[in-house]
């Protein structure tokens, strides 16, 4: 064999082994100096003889590959999330549900690592792709960055095709070190380990990612049956033997009591761990049992996440300031002395409205307790009144808009104050931001800051102005930061948005009470905006899930905004619903359903969606207005209620027969 290739192979082997021993086994076998010497030698050879550089060479670890855009990748199997439980009781319910389905499970307990999940795809044992979770269906290709994570093997111990999933994370110490450095450079600090890890893998330049010293644990094999495995524990071991870093803290629990024991022990040592965990993941060990238990649209039914309780800390309420939302609603916000809660720095918290502040008897200058649980937004729990000094300032609601200084309005019977000045700059900016946002018209490239700037420069004063930007391109380009290429892209996206289905427009208009779900419902029901604009309050109230407040709000909105809709129509914005039409079935349409117990092979959500797509309503409790109660295995008290009130009952067979006849 050629001498150069032979040396490349030798160096590759030495470096891969050294990496594995150091980063996966935590058991260094050569010194850092030796490692660097071999790595430099390999880098030099690859420079001189690029044809001998393997795509999966250990020199990838230092980064180098730069991409100009993240490619979207559709996951072969969706990347599901986990349902949460918050206490022992809920955990026991999770166990009972499995037992009620006829199983006697043992569980694997794992740390719930606070990072971001990743899918790693290997072909013939070589890492070919790393993909983020994204929305679970489509993620982003981050292969160039994944290769810099030293505990992720570039080559496996077996030349097999496999996709595994795990968590990329940043150690607590690494975050601290990075932030110390950022302080000296005057850069904004990274808020917590999860944001830091997520930001790090979303670098276009892999050299940047390499500097962030990310780590990973692998915890899931989507296609375990393909490899003749019987249990999750065996699967973890199998992945470990392939060279993956699998957490040695993972433990088998024979029953739910042992799970609780594991949680208690972990809670005690959580603080001392090198990385952040925000809970314990509990997975049914037997893979066949897992398959039989199945999945909902979002979660496996065979696993759950026990979340550690929220952490509370004390800090000072320095001020209460007011912000204006897109509907003109005024929100008081707590300005806090920055504190770290659950690994995030908190300096603001919403105080919702005047009544909320008053009910908590908050005064400016108070010492308050702040609570935060995982992803949940922080909240002010209470004022520590015993620590008052007498210097605190009572809270006073404002009566003029903090932006335009017009008098505020309060709707009788409601708690909120509104700025109703149609010229209020903040209201207008917020409504344009909302219109272009992802769940609304989804105009990529028009971020919050750009919208605000275009507004202040006078280019976009209202929603129709967005569609006129293409005629102002030359003028905008005279301002700093607007390149032709990026403007063209934005204009392209603006044009594309004209074709959106009606529900995006309805949500984007920012009609009070209309979220994405109601927008979809109205669009699918009325098919086009003209039908909707002609609907009366009663027409609207007849629709399931639409109550009086929403119906009033829709009618009022269209009464006041005829001109805007006409302008948008003239621009060429689609105002038709493009989704699937709602079906009709005499047994289902217009009826009110209640579901109790489980129907095999169908999740509660699936049944609900199917019924709703035929204009039926599904509610939580049985009343005399209920038309049908669907009763599956292990029904709850709703079954008794149905009998008492003499409501027609469909058993599993009947329910399946009807549901399966629906499209
Ligand atoms: S299992 C189908 N195991 O938690 C099973 N997830 O809240 C999928 N996570 O999206 C996940 N540690 O990003 C699993 N030991 C662990 C985990 C874990 C952290 C994350 C993961 C998931 C999220 C759900």
Categorize the per-residue pLDDT at 637 as very low, low, confident or very high, splitting at 50, 70 and 90.
confident
Half-sphere exposure of 292 (CA within 13 A, CB side): 13
Of all protein residues, the one whose alpha carbon is nearest to atom 21 of ligand 1 is: 117
pLDDT score recorded for residue 213:
94
Q: Are residues 480 and 531 in the same domain?
A: no
The residues lining ligand 1, judged by C-beta closer than 6 Å to any ligand atom, are: 80-82, 110, 112-113, 117, 167, 219-220, 281, 300, 303, 305
Specify if 110 maps to a domain: yes
pLDDT at 604: 85
| Residues recognised as catalytic | 112
pLDDT of residue 257: 97
* Residue with tokens 């027969």, as numbered in its chain: 657
CA distances from 78 to 74, 204, 593 (A): 8, 25, 30
Asked if pLDDT for residue 2 goes beyond 90, the answer is no
Average pLDDT over residues 461-489: 91
Pocket test for ligand 1, best of 281, 297, 301 (most atoms within 8 A of CB): 281
How big is the chain by its Cα radius of gyration, in Å?
29
Q: Is 581 within a domain?
A: no
107 CA to centre of ligand 1 in angstroms: 15
User: H or E stretch including 293?
Assistant: helix 287-293
SS3 537: helix
**Residue of 219, 222, 266, 293 with the most ligand 1 atoms within 8 Å of its CB, for mutation:** 219
Q: Which residue has the higher pLDDT, 375 or 208?
A: 208
> Are 486 and 523 contained in the same domain?
no
The reply to whether 177 falls in a domain is yes
In the chain, the percentage of residues whose pLDDT exceeds 90 is: 67
Summarize the confidence of residues 52-60 as an average pLDDT: 91
Residues 484 and 514 in one domain: no
- Residue 598 is given by DSSP the state B
- Residues 160 and 230 reside in one and the same domain: yes
For CA atoms 129, 132, 133, 135, give the dihedral sign: negative
Cα separation, 331 vs 57, in Å, equals: 54
Per-residue burial over 227-240, b = 16 or more CB atoms within 10 Å of its CB, e = otherwise = eebebbbebbebbb
| 303 Cα nearest atom in ligand 1 | 5
| 475: CATH | 1.10.150.20
What percent of the residues of the chain are helix, what percent strand, and what percent coil, each to the nearest 5? 40, 20, 40
Q: Do 648 and 627 contact (CB within 8 A), yes or no? A: yes
Predicted TM-score (pTM) of this structure: 0.61
How much is the pLDDT for 255?
Answer: 97
For atom 7 of ligand 1, the residue with the nearest CA is 82
DSSP 270-339: GGGSSS-EEEEEEEESBHHHHHHH-B-SSSBTTEEEEEPPPEEEEEEEEEEEEEE-TT-BEEEEEEEEEE
pLDDT tens-digit map of 500-519: 999 999 999 999 899 988 99
pLDDT digits (tens, 9 = 90+) for 395-443: 999 999 999 999 999 988 888 999 999 889 998 999 999 999 999 999 9
Q: Indicate if the pLDDT at residue 227 is higher than 70.
A: yes
What is the token pair recorded at 638? 């709703």
pLDDT at 1: 59
* 334 occurs within a structural domain: yes
Q: What is the pLDDT of residues 146-179, one digit of tens each?
A: 999 999 999 999 999 999 999 999 999 999 899 8
Distance 491 CA to ligand 1 centre (A): 39
pLDDT of residue 98 exceeding 80: yes
- The phi, psi pair for 249, rounded to 5°, reads -80, -10
pLDDT band for position 383 (cuts 50, 70, 90): very high
* Count, residues in the chain: 663
3-state secondary structure of 4: helix
Domain boundary among 410, 440, 460: 410
- pLDDT for res 189: 75
pLDDT at residue number 26: 86
Mean pLDDT (whole number) for 269-296: 94
Q: Quick one: DSSP state of residue 407?
A: B
How much is the pLDDT for 307? 92
- Domain boundary pick from 457, 474, 497: 497
Specify the pLDDT at position 68: 86
CA dist 203 and 604 (Å) reads: 40
Specify the residue with its C-alpha closest to ligand 1, atom 6. Answer: 112
Q: Out of 9-18, 181-190, 355-364, which region has the weakest mean confidence (pLDDT)?
A: 181-190
Cα 79 from Cα 183, distance rounded (Å): 36
**The total number of structural domains that make up the chain:** 6
Looking at ligand 1, which residue's alpha carbon is closest to its atom 16?
112
Please give the Cα distance from 301 to 296 (Å, whole number).
7
pLDDT at 544 over 80: no
Which residue minimizes the CA distance to atom 22 of ligand 1? 81
- Residue 133 CA to ligand 1 center (angstroms) comes to 11
Both 230 and 91 in one domain: the answer is yes
Cα angle for residues 286, 288, 293 (degrees, 5° grid): 95
Kindly give the distance from the C-alpha atom of residue 642 to the centroid of ligand 1, in angstroms, as a whole number: 39
From 455, 473, 497, give the residue that closes a domain.
497
In a domain, 416, yes or no: no
Measure the CA angle with vertex 650, ends 648 and 654; round to 5°: 140
Lowest mean pLDDT among 218-227, 237-246, 467-476, 629-638: 629-638
Distance 85 CA to ligand 1 centre (A): 14
Q: pLDDT tier at 374 (50, 70, 90 boundaries)?
A: low
Tell whether 584 is covered by a domain: no
Residue 376: the pLDDT is 64
Could you tell me the CATH number of the domain that includes residue 599? Answer: 3.40.50.10190
Give the contacts of 159 (CB within 8 A, at least 6 positions apart).
124, 125
Average pLDDT over residues 637-654: 88
In a shared domain, residues 435 and 542: no
* Together in a domain, 156 and 209: yes
Tell how far the Cα of 140 is from the centroid of ligand 1, in angstroms.
18
Structure confidence at residue 296 (pLDDT): 83
- Residue 196 shares a structural domain with residue 162: yes
Give residues with Cβ within 8 angstroms of 637, minimum separation 6: 596
Residues 6+ apart with CB under 8 A from 231: 285, 286, 287
The answer to whether position 420 is within a domain reads no
User: Are 227 and 106 members of one domain?
Assistant: yes
Which of the four pLDDT bands, split at 50, 70 and 90, describes residue 209?
Answer: very high
Domain limits at 537?
A: 502-571
Q: Is residue 72 part of a domain?
A: no
Query: Are residues 229 and 213 both part of a single domain?
Result: yes
**Ligand 1 atom with the shortest distance to the CA of 250:** 15
Answer yes or no: is pLDDT of 191 > 80. Answer: no
Tokens, residue 649: 């009952």
d(CA 95, CA 633): 17
Closest atom of ligand 1 to 114 CA is 19
* Of 63 and 440, the one with more pLDDT: 440
- What CATH code is carried by the domain that includes residue 342? 2.40.50.140
DSSP string, 418-448: E---TT-HHHHHHHHHHHHSTTTT--TT--H
- Give the three-class secondary structure for 641: helix
pLDDT, the chain, mean: 91
Distance 100 CA to ligand 1 centre (A): 25
Q: Kindly give the number of the ligand 1 atom that is closest to the alpha carbon of 111.
A: 15
Residue 31 belongs to domain with CATH number:
1.10.287.610
The per-residue pLDDT for range 566-623, each reduced to its tens digit, is 999 999 999 999 877 667 788 898 899 999 988 888 888 889 888 887 888 888 899 9
Q: Which among 83, 86, 111, 112 is the best mutation to test ligand 1's pocket, defined by most ligand atoms within 8 Å of the CB?
A: 112
Q: Are residues 164 and 48 in the same domain?
A: no
Task: Looking at the CA of residue 84, tell me the nearest atom of ligand 1.
Answer: 7
User: Which residue do the tokens 């004390």 mark?
Assistant: 314
pLDDT at 87 over 70: yes
pLDDT at residue 36 is higher than 90: yes
Give one word for 75, left, alpha or beta, with left for phi > 0 and alpha for psi -120 to 50.
beta
pLDDT in tens, 324-346: 988 889 999 999 999 888 777 88
* Distance (Å, whole) CA 264 – CA 270: 10
Whether 509 and 492 map to the same domain: the answer is no
H/E segment holding residue 170: none
d(CA 611, CA 617): 7
């Amino acid at each position: 064999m050629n001498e150069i290739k032979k040396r490349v192979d030798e160096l590759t082997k030495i470096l891969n082994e050294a990496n594995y021993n150091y980063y996966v086994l935590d058991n260094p076998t050569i010194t850092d100096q030796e490692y660097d010497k071999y790595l430099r030698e390999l880098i030099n050879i690859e420079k001189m003889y690029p044809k001998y550089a393997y795509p999966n060479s250990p020199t990838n670890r230092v980064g180098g590959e730069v991409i100009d855009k993240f490619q979207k990748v559709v996951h072969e199997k969706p990347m599901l999330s986990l349902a949460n439980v918050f206490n022992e009781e809920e955990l026991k319910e999770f166990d009972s549900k499995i037992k009620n389905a006829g199983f006697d499970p043992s569980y694997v307990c794992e740390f719930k690592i606070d990072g971001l999940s990743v899918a790693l795809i290997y072909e013939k044992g070589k890492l070919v792709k790393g993909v983020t979770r994204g929305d679970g269906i489509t993620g982003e290709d981050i292969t160039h960055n994944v290769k810099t994570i030293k505990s992720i093997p570039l080559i496996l111990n077996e030349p097999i095709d496999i996709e595994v999933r795990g968590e990329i994370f940043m150690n607590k110490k690494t975050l601290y070190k990075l932030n110390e450095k950022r302080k000296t450079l005057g850069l904004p600090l990274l808020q917590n380990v999860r944001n830091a890890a997520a930001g790090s893998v979303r670098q276009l330049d892999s050299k940047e990612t390499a500097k962030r010293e990310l780590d990973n644990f692998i915890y899931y094999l989507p296609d375990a049956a393909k490899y003749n495995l019987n249990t999750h524990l065996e699967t973890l071991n199998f992945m470990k033997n392939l060279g993956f870093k699998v957490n040695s803290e993972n433990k088998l629990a024979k029953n739910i009591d042992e799970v609780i024991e594991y949680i208690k022990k972990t809670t005690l040592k959580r603080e001392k761990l090198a990385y952040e965990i925000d809970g314990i993941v509990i997975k049914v060990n037997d893979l066949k049992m897992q398959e039989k238990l199945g999945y909902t649209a979002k979660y496996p039914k065979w696993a759950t996440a026990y979340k550690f309780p929220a952490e509370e800390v004390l800090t000072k309420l320095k001020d209460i300031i007011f912000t204006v939302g897109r509907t003109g609603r005024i929100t008081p916000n707590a300005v806090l002395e920055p504190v770290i809660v659950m690994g995030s720095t908190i300096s603001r918290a919403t105080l919702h409205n005047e009544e909320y502040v008053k009910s908590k008897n908050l005064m400016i200058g108070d010492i308050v307790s702040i609570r935060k649980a995982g992803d949940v937004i922080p909240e002010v729990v209470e004022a520590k009144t015993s620590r008052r000094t007498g210097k605190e300032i009572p809270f006073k609601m404002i009566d003029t808009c903090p932006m335009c200084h017009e008098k505020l309005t309060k709707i009788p019977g409601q708690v909120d104050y509104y700025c109703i000045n149609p010229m209020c700059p903040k209201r207008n900016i917020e409504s344009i931001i909302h219109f272009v946002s992802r769940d609304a018209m989804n105009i990529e490239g028009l971020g919050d800051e750009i919208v605000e700037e275009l507004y202040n420069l006078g280019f976009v004063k209202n929603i129709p102005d967005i569609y006129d930007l293409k005629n102002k391109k030359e003028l905008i380009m005279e301002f700093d930061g607007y390149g032709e290429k990026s403007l063209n892209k934005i204009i392209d996206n603006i044009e594309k948005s004209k074709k959106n289905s009606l529900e995006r427009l309805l949500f984007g208009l920012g009609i009070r009470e209309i979220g994405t779900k109601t927008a979809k419902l109205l669009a699918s029901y009325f098919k086009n905006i003209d039908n909707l604009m002609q609907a009366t309050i009663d027409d609207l109230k007849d629709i399931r899930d639409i109550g009086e407040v929403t119906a009033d709000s829709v009618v009022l909105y269209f009464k006041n905004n005829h001109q805007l809709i006409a302008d948008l129509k003239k621009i060429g914005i689609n105002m038709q619903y493009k989704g699937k039409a709602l079906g009709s079935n005499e047994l289902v349409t217009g009826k009110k359903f209640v579901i109790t117990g489980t129907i095999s092979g169908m999740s509660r959500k699936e049944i609900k969606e199917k019924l709703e797509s035929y204009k039926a309503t599904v509610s939580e409790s049985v009343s005399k207005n209920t038309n049908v109660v669907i009763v599956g295995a292990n029904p709850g008290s709703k079954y008794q209620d149905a009998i008492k009130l003499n409501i027609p009952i469909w058993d599993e067979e009947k329910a399946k027969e009807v549901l399966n006849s629906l499209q």
